[in-house]
Amino acid sequence: MSLPYKYEGLEARFFDEVDGLNEFDDLGFYKWFIDANPGSTLDLACGTGRLLVPLAAQGYEVVGLDVSEEMLAICREQLDREGSHSKLIHNDMRIFHLEQAFANVIVPGFSIQLLADLADWKNCLESCYRCLKSDGQLLLSLYYPLEMLESGKTESRSSERKRVNLANRESVVALQSWKIDSKERRLRLRNVYQKFDAKGELCIEEEKEMEMRWVELSEVMELLGEIGFADSVAYGDFLLDGDVDGAEAVCVVAWK
Ligand SMILES: C[S@@+](CC[C@H](N)C(=O)[O-])C[C@H]1O[C@@H](n2cnc3c(N)ncnc32)[C@H](O)[C@@H]1O
């Protein structure tokens, strides 16, 4: 099995400021489905707790799992700051066996797409199925880079993604360029993180390459059926009436 993609260093420390996943406004969508099927929730690849922390603060019972110690440490800091409690598990989402069975498993932030091949996706979804209660539901988020595909370009130049001004006049700049392979359905992102000191001089530079793959929605639904999920429905843009046609963000809800 290949090594998992590890968020670390500046990429982990500034994930919340740089990644912009909150722009998808997805928390309400997850809450709606959890409320419809109350019980414990596993936040798979929970990262810094973008969803786990507000859910725990609002009284939901959430357990987080992630492979990055640094992302989990930030998640723990944010939970402590809120005075909330959640169990956090350091593990690989491809193969995990948990003693607890969950009413809900959520995989937000398109994290499954960091898994390199379909065998990894299958292992991950089978692990999700195994840890769900008999009437449990899985919420799996998927990202389709339609704008990049429609642009006709296969790669971009590096451009500034985000500038974060810190205390003491320090700053962090995140740059990104991409290459896309529509046949292989792989998007390769090259992320550069630069930290500048108070005098504006570069003091740290970190470069990371990340590959995201996407799988046609029909194939995902078929795979869920093969694994044993009784039914699944896809929603576009984290809306209950969201059309999946033309949506870059899709969430599949699958019932055991
Ligand atoms: C884009 S972030 C999303 C984080 C969070 N779910 C959110 O929505 O903000 C992807 C997360 O997946 C985690 N991850 C990647 N590969 C993983 C693996 N094989 N097992 C567990 N976590 C993994 C990363 O460490 C990272 O925290």
Identify the CATH number of the domain in which residue 23 sits.
3.40.50.150
Domain check: are 74 and 17 in the same one? yes
Domain that holds residue 170: 147-212
Question: End-to-end alpha-carbon separation of the chain, Å?
Answer: 27
CATH of the domain at 173: 2.20.25
Query: Which stretches within 69-184 are classed as H helix?
Result: 69-82, 118-130, 146-151
Mutate to test the pocket of ligand 1, among 67, 128, 191 (most ligand atoms within 8 A of CB): 67
Edge to edge, the sheet with strand 132-143 lists 88-90, 62-66, 41-44, 102-107, 132-143, 249-255, 231-236
Amino acid identity at 26:
D
- Whether residue 40 contacts residue 104, with contact meaning beta carbons closer than 8 Å, is answered with yes
Is 169 part of a structural domain of the chain?
yes
44/139 same-domain check: yes
- Cβ–ligand 1 contact at 108 (below 6 Å): yes
Q: Is any ligand 1 atom within 6 A of the Cβ of residue 111?
A: yes
- Say yes or no: 39 and 115 in one domain: yes
Mean pLDDT over 231-248 rounds to: 97
Residue with CA nearest ligand 1 atom 4: 47
C-beta of residue 60 within 8 angstroms of C-beta of residue 52: no
Integer Cα distance of 242 and 189 in angstroms: 28
Percent of the chain at pLDDT exceeding 70: 100
Give the model confidence (pLDDT) of 45-67 as tens digits: 999 999 999 999 999 999 999 99
The answer to whether position 2 is within a domain reads no
pLDDT in tens, 85-101: 999 999 999 999 999 99
- Greatest Cα pair distance, the chain, in angstroms, is 59
Task: Provide the pLDDT confidence category of residue 147 given band limits of 50, 70 and 90.
Answer: very high
The answer to whether the CB of 107 is under 6 A from ligand 1 is: no
CA torsion sign for 13, 81, 90, 114 is: negative
Provide the pLDDT for residue 2: 85
Mutate to test the pocket of ligand 1, among 90, 111, 210 (most ligand atoms within 8 A of CB): 111
pLDDT digits (tens, 9 = 90+) for 179-233: 999 999 999 999 999 999 999 999 999 999 999 999 999 999 999 999 999 999 9
**By C-alpha distance, which of 29, 24, 23, 71 is closest to 49?**
71
DSSP annotation of 1 reads -
pTM value is 0.97
Q: What is the pLDDT, as a whole number, of residue 116?
A: 86
Residue 228 CA to ligand 1 center (angstroms) comes to 24
**Domain assignment present for 98:** yes
Query: Do residues 138 and 254 touch, judged by C-beta distance below 8 A?
Result: yes
Mean pLDDT score of the chain = 97
> pLDDT-based confidence at 165, cuts 50/70/90?
very high
If asked whether residues 24 and 122 sit together in one domain, one would say yes
Asked if residue 230 and residue 107 are part of one domain, the reply reads: yes
Q: Say yes or no: CB of residue 44 within 6 Å of ligand 1.
A: no
Please say if the pLDDT value at position 145 is more than 90: yes
Six-digit token pair at 14? 């500034």
Task: State the total domains in the chain.
Answer: 2
Q: Are residues 245 and 207 in the same domain?
A: no
**DSSP E strand stretches across 45-117:** 62-66, 88-90, 102-107
CA of 199 to the centre of ligand 1 (A): 34
